[in-house]
Amino acid sequence: MQTSTDFIVIGSGVAGLRAALELANGGRVTVLTKDRLDESNTEYAQGGVAVALSDDDEIDLHVEDTLIAGAGLCDETAVRVLVEEGPRYITELIEWGAQFDREGGELAFTREAAHSRRRILHAHGDSTGREIVRALIAAAKKHPNIQLTAHAATIGLTVENGRCVGVQFIDPSESLRREVFARAVVLATGGAGQLFAQTTNPSVATGDGMAMAYAAGAMMCDLEFVQFHPTVLALAGAPRFLLSEALRGEGAILRNHDGEAFAKRYDERGELAPRDIVARAIVAEAQRTNQNCMFLDLTHLDAGFLRERFPKIFETCLRYGLDMAKDLLPVSPAVHYVMGGVRTDTHGRTTLPGLYAAGEVACTGVHGANRLASNSLLEGLVFGARAGAAALGDALPSPAKAESEPIEFDLSDWRLDQRTKARVQELMWWKVGLLRRAEELQSAVAELTQLAEEKINRRTRNFVTLARLMAEAALWREESRGGHYREDFPARDDKHWQVHSAQSLNQPIQSIARISEA
C-alpha cells in the first residue's frame, strides 16, 4: 500500500481513469475505488459514445443536438468544449488500444434518439463502456506513477483552511481507517441512481461522492434534473436491464398492448424524441390503457443483425425467455442518470479549492436539463482529462502533511443501513420520480429531514441527505423542463426559470445564471 502520494483520484470509471493518466505526467497518483476496478456506471454503458467524427457529421450539428436535448439549460461554453475536444480524446483512446466496431475497416457509426446524424461509436455491439474501461485500465497499469487500489471505500474529504488536502478511506487489506494527504484530489465517483427503487445503475451508484463533497462545503447544482431511461426491461424476476437507446436508433418501435405504435401520438419525432419525452410517453400510454408496461418491437429486423449488433442484450433477453427477433420486449422507464452534481467550471474545478470533479458526479452544465444520449462517456474522457490537467496546474507544491497513523475501523460504521436505504428508494421513486407534484415533494422533504435526524451512521446519513437535496431542488423549481416534470407546473417557463439551482451546506437553495463560472 502506497503510504504517500501526490494526487488522489476517487473512482475508476472513464472520468477517474482519464484524470489519473493526465495527473501521472506530474507525480504519483493513487486511484481509490470502493469496488472492483471495472465496476462503475461506465462498464454498463451499452449504446456507445457520441463523437462528430463521421464524414457526414459536423461539430456544430453535435452542439445543436446537445443544446436542444438540454432544454435551454446547457452551458454552451461547456458543450463546445465537449464536442470540439471529443474527437481528439476518442482518437487518443483508439491509439491506446480501444477497439470500436468497424465496417470495411472504417469506424461504424449508429444513430440514437435526438441525434441528427449517425455519430455513435460502439464496441462489441453493445459493450462500449466495458471496452473503454478495459483500454483505460490497461493504459493506467502500464504507467509507473499510477497505483490502482480496489475495494478502498472513501469515507470523507479532509479540508484544512478552506482547502481540500486529502481523503479518509478504508484500507481494503485491513479494517483500518487511513487518512492520506495530497497536492490535489479529483472526485470521479459517478452518479446516484441507487437513490431510487427502479434504476439501471449498479449497486455502487449511491451518490457517496456528491454527498461527501457537499459535506465538505462544495456547491451542488441542478440536482432536480434526473434522467429516466424510457426502455428498461420490465419482466417479473428479471433485473432492471437497460435496453439501449441504439435499439430505437436501429428501428425498434414502441407498441401498446393492442399492438399500436403510439410514440408519434406524443411527439412527432416518435421513438427518436429525447429520453424525457419518450419516458413520459410510455407512462402516459400505460395510464391511458391501464397497463403497467409497453413493448419494444424489433421483430421486423433481421435476427442475424440483432444478434451481431446487440449481443449482450440479445443473450440477456434469451436468458429470460425472450427472443428479440420474435418477441415483443416489455419495457417501462427507470432512473438512469443524474444531470446535476458537484458544480465545476470547464476545467473540473469545484467551489472548494483543491477539489476537482469529473463525470457524472460533476455538473459542468454540459447536459442542461436532459443529457443527450451517449454524451456521458465522451464527457468522462474530455472533462476527466481537463480536471487532471487543472489539478496538476493548480496543485500545492507538496502534500499538506504526511499520512496520519491508521486507526481501527468498524466496517459497520460505513455500511448503508438497508432498511433506511429501501425506505429512501421507495420514497424517491413514488414522490420524486418521473411525474412530480408539490404535495408529494413536500412530504418527501419532511420525511427525509426526519430520517436524517435518526440514529444512523455517516454513510446512511449522506445517502438520506443527498435524497433530501434532490427533493428540495425539485420542489423549488416550479416549472417542467427536461428530466424534471411537475404535473402542477407542466409548462416550461424561460422567463422565470432559465436558471440553475445551487445548494451549499447551511445555505438556502438559490439560483445562479451559469454553471461554468464556478
Strands (E), 359-436: 362-363, 407-408
Sign of CA dihedral 393, 394, 398, 402: negative
Q: What count of other Cβ atoms lies within 10 Å of the Cβ of residue 25?
A: 12
DSSP classification of residue 489: B
List the beta bridge partners of residue 339. none
Residue with cell 481513469: 17
DSSP classification of residue 107: E
Q: Are 243 and 294 in contact (CB under 8 A)?
A: no
Q: Which residue is catalytic, options 119, 130, 240, 275?
A: 275
327: Cβ contacts below 8 Å, ≥ 6 apart: 299, 317
Judging by beta carbons within 10 Å of its beta carbon (0-12, 13-18, 19+), is residue 476 exposed, middle or buried? Answer: middle
Q: Can you say whether residue 199 is alpha, beta or left, with left for phi > 0 and alpha for psi between -120 and 50 degrees?
A: beta
Q: Can you say whether residue 307 is alpha, beta or left, with left for phi > 0 and alpha for psi between -120 and 50 degrees?
A: alpha
Phi, psi of 343 (to 5 degrees): -65, 130
Sign of CA dihedral 240, 246, 250, 253: positive
Q: How many CA atoms lie within 13 A of 180 on its CB side?
A: 27
**Coil/strand/helix, residue 310:** coil
Is 371 assigned a catalytic role?
Answer: no
Q: How far apart are CA 79 and CA 142, in angstroms?
A: 32
For the record, the C-alpha cell of 144 comes out as 509507473
Q: Which of 233, 247, 345 is closest to 295 using CA atoms?
A: 233
Residue with cell 446519513: 461
Q: How far apart are CA 472 and CA 287, in angstroms?
A: 27
Q: Are 467 and 428 in contact (CB under 8 A)?
A: yes
Q: How many CA atoms lie within 13 A of 322 on its CB side?
A: 23
Q: Could you give the residue numbers annotated as active site?
A: 275
